[in-house]
Chains A and B, each alone.
Chain A
Amino acid sequence: NAGVTQTPKFQVLKTGQSMTLQCAQDMNHNSMYWYRQDPGMGLRLIYYSASEGTTDKGEVPNGYNVSRLNKREFSLRLESAAPSQTSVYFCASSHNSNEQFFGPGTRLTVL
């Protein structure tokens, strides 16, 4: 089992460019999450999907969109990247519990 995988691992964008961060889990988990982690701010929830077909906003959803493509995959899209979106992005999943399994993260820099 690979657990939670994220692509890409690193990305540099220019202001205004768009991109999609991909996340997949092979643990048959119902719930999936996107967080961002910034120095001094901790982990902040962007969006989550409690089950296939549903998505909900978290603490910091502005500037992002998500798609729960199927039970395995949950993508995060930046339509027009801004320097304030420079961060490390983590995807996580869980199954009928609060134990969330995290991916290795995507380090995004927006110039």
Chain B
Amino acid sequence: QKEVEQDPGPLSVPEGAIVSLNCTYSNSAFQYFMWYRQYSRKGPELLMYTYSSGNKEDGRFTAQVDKSSKYISLFIRDSQPSDSATYLCAMTPRNSGYALNFGKGTSLLVTP
């Protein structure tokens, strides 16, 4: 069993919808949680970064971490066709220079 589980989708929503993306994990040592966005045939880019439990908001994006349930979420409000991409969760026990554990990624399609 992988340490990080993520539903690969695909997830298709209409423009303007609220999107919820999720990951679960098994390693209680994970403290730092990230969401990366990857457009087709490109490298991943960091979207959101959180430490420990709680919420973090950045524009239309909100990242949520529930360490007691070992569950993290990314919410996208007012979704746009430009949000169509694969979203990868990642996590690690340390704050720098350490390997990230990635989920398999969820493919999202936002239709006009």
CB within 8 Å of B: which residues of A? 4, 30-31, 33, 40-45, 48, 50-51, 56, 58, 90, 92, 94-105
Return the CB mask of B95-106 against A: 1 if under 8 Å, else 0.
111111011110
Provide the residues of chain B in CB contact with A104, threshold 8 Å.
42-43
Known A-B contacts A40-B8, A90-B44, A105-B43; A97 and B104 likewise in contact (beta carbons under 8 Å): no
Q: B108 in the interface, Cβ–Cβ < 8 Å?
A: no
Provide the residues of chain B in CB contact with A96, threshold 8 Å.
96-97
CB within 8 Å of A: which residues of B? 6, 8, 32, 34, 41-46, 49, 88, 92, 94-100, 102-105
Provide the residues of chain B in CB contact with A105, threshold 8 Å.
41-43
Nearest residue (CB) in A for B31 is A98
Number of A-B contacts (CB under 8 A): 62
How far, in Å, is A41 (CB) from chain B's closest CB?
Answer: 7
